Structure 1
Amino acid sequence: MSIGSAVRTDQLFPIGEVPPVGVVPKQMYAWTVRKERFGEPLQAFQVEIVDVPKPGRGEVIVCNYAAGINYNGVWAGLGQPKNVIADHGKWGDAPQPFHICGSESSGIVYAVGEGVDMVKVGDEVVVIGVQADYNCPVVKRGDCPVLSPTFRVWGYEANWGAFAQFSKVQQEQCVPKPTHYTWEEAAAFSATGATIMRMLTAYSEHHIQEGDVVLIWGGSGGLGTMAIQIVNYFGGIPIVVVSDRERAELCMSLGAKGWINRSEFKHFGPLEQGYKEPRQYKAWLREALKFRREIWNIVGERKNPRIVIEHPGENTLPTSMFVVENGGMVTICGGTSGYIGTVDLRYLWLGQKRLQGSHAGGRQDYFKTYDAINQSSIRPYLSKIIEWEDLAQCHQDIRDNQHPGGNMAVRIGLGAGK
Structure 2
Amino acid sequence: MRVIGLMSGTSYDAIDAAVADLDLVGDSLVLKPLGMVSEPYDGELREALTAALPPGHTTLGEVCRLDTLIGQAFAAAAVRADRELCEGLAGLVASHGQTVYHWVAEKEVHGTLQLGQPAWIAEATGLPVVADFRPRDIAAGGQGAPLVSLFDLLWLRGRPGRPVALNIGGIANLTAPDGTAFDTGPGCALIDAAARGFSGGALSYDTDGALAARGRVHGPLLDRLLEEPYYALPAPKTTGKELFHLGRLRDALAGFGTLPAEDVVATLTMLTARTVADAVRSVGATEVVASGGGTRNPVLMGMLGELLPGVAVRTSDELGLPSGAKEAYAFAVLGFLTLHGLPGTEPASTGARHPSVLGSVTPGREGLRLPPPAGRGPTRLLLD
Using structure 2 for the length normalisation, give the TM-score: 0.29
Structure with greater proportional helix content: 2
Using structure 1 for the length normalisation, give the TM-score: 0.27
Higher relative contact order (CA 8 A, sep 6+): 2
| Structure showing greater Rg | 1
